[in-house]
Chain A
């Protein structure tokens, strides 16, 4: 199933601040994508599979999905 997608957007400043605060509290290398993924996966606890309808299995895609899920879990709905 494919649909035209809107252009990518950045999270709002509030959401970005919230995620960055989490990264800082996790004391990880903010420039390291793997570290961020690892910190978020650690936050969710047990092993987790993140599916992708579009077959994009890049680390960047995984990070964006985990960040979005983190905001949802935190109750931040834009």
Chain B
């Protein structure tokens, strides 16, 4: 590719990644849970922990619930239904993040991952979900945080062609 082609490629990819980032629901919280699990050494530090998110059509119809987490020792996958709306998708992801945290806490204490469910855990995950989402809500409602993530240093930059 010529230098001009690379520039065009960079413009196109910036747009593509920007649009894709809007589908990365609860991305900061997911990263924060990964970091927390690693920092608390629920798993060997050298291995780390990774959480992936899958948004799937007809998931609720297939499995009769809006979201599920599939939790293993070194990773977890969250699957959420594509058609329940962004707010409920984000809440469901938060709920499953609660499951991942609680599961890894109990795993570190010597419990098996295979069977941990109980109404107490469900209730705890409901609390985690509501607290976390409400904290996000309060944060974005606070005018003091309005400009925290802007890039004033790029005032002179013109965004490239979008197609």
Binding site for B on A (CB under 8 A): 1, 3, 5-9, 11, 44-57, 61, 64-65, 68-69, 72, 77-78
- B122 near A11 with CB under 8 A, answer no
B65-84 contacts to A, CB under 8 A, are 65-74, 77, 79, 84
Q: Main SS of the interface on chain B? A: mixed
Binding site for A on B (CB under 8 A): 54, 56-74, 77, 79, 84, 88, 91-92, 95-96, 99, 103, 112-117, 119, 122, 125-126, 129
Cα separation A52 to B72 with both chains bound (whole Å)? 15
Cα separation A42 to B88 with both chains bound (whole Å)? 32
Cα separation A7 to B61 with both chains bound (whole Å)? 6
Cα separation A9 to B57 with both chains bound (whole Å)? 12
Task: From known contacts A46-B72, A72-B79, infer whether A9 and B58 are also in contact, taking CB-CB under 8 Å.
Answer: yes
